[in-house]
Amino acid sequence: METKNIQYTEKFEDIYTNVDYNKKRYQEMSEKFQNLHGVKPDYFVRAPGRVNLIGEHIDYMNYPVFPFALEQDSLLCFTYSDDELIHIDHMNSEEFHSAVISNDPAKRSETIASLTPKQSYIKYFIAGYCSGIDGKVSSYKGLKVLIGGNVPLASGCSSSTSLCVSSSILGVFANKSTINQAELLENIITYERSLGTACGGMDQTISLLAVHGKALFIEFNEFAKIESVQLPHGVSFVIANSLTPSAKLETLGKRYNKRVSECRMACKILMDKMSIKAEKPFTNLRQLVRNNETLEEMQEKVKTLIEQKVYTKEEIEQIIGTKLEDFLQGIPQSELVITQNNDYYPYERALHVYSEANRVYQFQKTCFDTQLTDEEKIPILGKLMNESQYSCDNLYDCSSDKLNELINICRKNGAIGSRLTGAGWGGCTVSMVRTENLQDFLQAVKTQYYEKNGLTCDENILFATAPANGAMVYKNIEF
Ligand code: NG1
């Protein structure tokens, strides 16, 4: 039952490199499903988490990013149900409670509003599930679904998006939706944004479209510009979870959506100072590049046109000539930003965005440079990763003491580049390490960060990783 717009396989080896470990996961899930429903699941759907190598907090300003997919994924298995309902259970039933919900996308908001706190993970399922079938299918299937996964939660590895994407694939596959891939991707981004985060499209794009063995350079200016990139041989990428989670939806007002708002303020200040006239104020910093200015030139404009200081709400309103309540329209839950803050940093945020975008292009250029050997590329890439971390910490203020401690330990023990990955304020770091030093590196980080802080560490907390596949449906033959 192949569907053109999604990847489908009947061979387990097509999905994973670490086959034995993952077979065990599927087996456990199938057993739980059988305990719940008395039958084996017909299909599994997986969508990966991701690590971003460079390009942080710039996707929502339409600048490119450089992620690759992890083998760690959100995993769903299902059979059809005779009623018109979706029966949802979770592998971790103590933390994540079951629910029976409507299968009709028109009831999306109503169903989300009825969830209890321990069922709130289901809103990602609903957003994803509806994104590929809303308006595309005339009747909807009933389903029995079990949800699991091993992407670290609230840790910058895209656990929520991987659930959205796997649920979206489930909706499309189970209901035979003919939605094309580009529209599906756009819808997943829009539906996930409707849950509250003013996110860009990095996580959804990589989770849906990742290519085994390659990182992706993803441009948001033109939808089609996605290049798969071979990373240099001789290095491994290590994820280390600081074990200080940063729950995004609970901190939107002070963190993620505040940064999006500050970028928008910077955009308006620059627009006025550059005498750019437009019907509506621009919403992203890339729109200000009108005459092929380089990213270095844009940084100079920030330095000369925006005063470096902390701005209050009143000062911002005076400069932009509008009430913040009106100005931030379109940013989900912007009222939280306004009520929770009276300190805004447009200078620093804009400087981060233009300099980080510049680093992503340099990273891409270096990877593709046929004049350079891998040995020559490695230190250049490492330096760019370290500079990105500096900018995230000092200009974007999205690092944390624990992330900085972990990154310093990684660098001290041989990481050529080390930085936070994802939204930050906690969560995971990514380090580029010579493969020949990998085992010593892992041991040193284990002792100096985890043991020293009294933390236990397993294969989903500190691990070397390589680019994995994107979302896929697996027909259950084995489990
Ligand atoms: P995570 O790391 O999943 O919280 C977020 C955004 C991305 C991107 C990064 C920062 C979502 C779903 N994703 O990711 O779009 O802006 O932060 O680079 O919110």
pLDDT value for 222: 64
Q: Could you tell which of 50, 54, 59 is best to mutate to test the pocket of ligand 1, judged by most ligand atoms within 8 Å of the CB? A: 59
Active site residue 59: no
Highest mean pLDDT among 1-5, 244-248, 257-261: 257-261
List the beta bridge partners of residue 50.
Answer: 69
What is the average pLDDT across 74-87?
A: 96
244 three-class SS:
coil
Nearest CA to ligand 1 atom 17: 423
7-230+467-475 — its CATH code?
Answer: 3.30.230.10
Are 50 and 157 in contact by the 8 Å Cβ rule? The answer is: yes
Find the residues whose C-beta lies inside 6 A of ligand 1: 52, 56-57, 59-60, 156, 158, 161, 192, 197, 199-200, 202-203, 248, 422-423
Q: Which amino acid belongs to residue 37?
A: H
What is the arrangement of strands in the sheet containing 417-420, beginning at the earlier edge strand?
417-420, 428-434, 235-241, 462-465
Residues 420-479: tens digit of each pLDDT: 999 999 999 999 999 999 999 999 999 999 999 999 999 899 999 999 999 999 999 999
Would the pTM of this model clear 0.95, i.e. be above it? yes
pLDDT at 223 over 60: no
Q: Could you tell which of 56, 197, 241 is best to mutate to test the pocket of ligand 1, judged by most ligand atoms within 8 Å of the CB? A: 197
DSSP string, 413-441: TT-SEEEE-SS-SSSEEEEEEEGGGHHHH
Residues 313-357: tens digit of each pLDDT: 999 999 999 999 999 999 999 999 999 999 999 999 999 999 999
Return the residue matching tokens 């000062």.
315
pLDDT at 23 over 60: yes
**Residue of 203, 272, 326, 393 marked active site:** 203
Q: How far is the CA of 351 from the centre of ligand 1 (A)?
A: 19
Residue 156 Cα: closest atom of ligand 1: 2
Q: Which amino acid belongs to residue 118?
A: K
Angstrom distance (rounded) from CA 401 to CA 229: 32
pLDDT at 117 over 60: yes
Nearest-5° angle of CA 48, CA 51, CA 55?
Answer: 130
Are 162 and 188 in contact by the 8 Å Cβ rule? The answer is: no
pLDDT at 108 over 70: yes
Q: Measuring CA to CA, which residue among 430, 423, 352, 425 is closest to residue 199?
A: 423
